[in-house]
Structure 1
Amino acid sequence: MDYESYAAVMKALSDPKRVKILDIISCGELCACDILEQFDFTQPTLSHHIKVLVNAGLVNVEKKGTWHHYSLNEKNMNQLVIDTSQLTSKKTSCICSETDQKGAALSEKTLFV
């Protein structure tokens, strides 16, 4: 994952309601109506929050009849944990010491690994 992608995922997680949605569906797949019961806002607001999480790749959506069911994208959630760990861990090679021949800092597309 590059810095841009990582920041986009973290931006999706910047709202406490979205974090709560992830917590709720971490127990298993749920329909929107079951998630909505846990909040004091409207269905369109829930749809907006879910859309942000889906676009960030953190939530899967599956339509079953007239209902939408949501689940964690476990692969991407696990990758987020790995990326966060790598980003915040001490490494043998530090981005501060890695420069190109002209002494310029690495580009913002640098991978964590």
Structure 2
Amino acid sequence: PSTDFYSETCRLGWNRASWCIKRFDLEYWAFHKGERTLILIDDDPERIGVFLDYEAGILSFYNVTDGMVHLHTFCCKFTEPLYPALRLWEGRRGLRMPKALV
């Protein structure tokens, strides 16, 4: 069966089972269940750190480029295992993954 990668069920942050930070142009947004929150950032992160406290229901993102600056925290009750996901994208073309990562 084929998968529609543009459907809301497959997009990170657009369903109840995923949380994400996205960068659009020069703005950063937090997404969950299709709802978005603007994140005000002074310095564009080169590295983003993720902190998870499963039992407490906390998923936090930090700018860890130079020190540790809080970006956003999601709070909820996790009921299933969590897995990290990463989406690389550059405009309409997308990015090619190196063969070593495929």
More strand by share: 2
Question: Which protein shows a greater Rg?
Answer: 1
Instruction: Report 1 or 2 for greater relative contact order, CA contacts < 8 Å, sequence distance ≥ 6.
Output: 1
Q: Taking structure 1 as the reference length, what is the TM-score of the superposition?
A: 0.27
TM-score if structure 2 supplies the norm length? 0.29
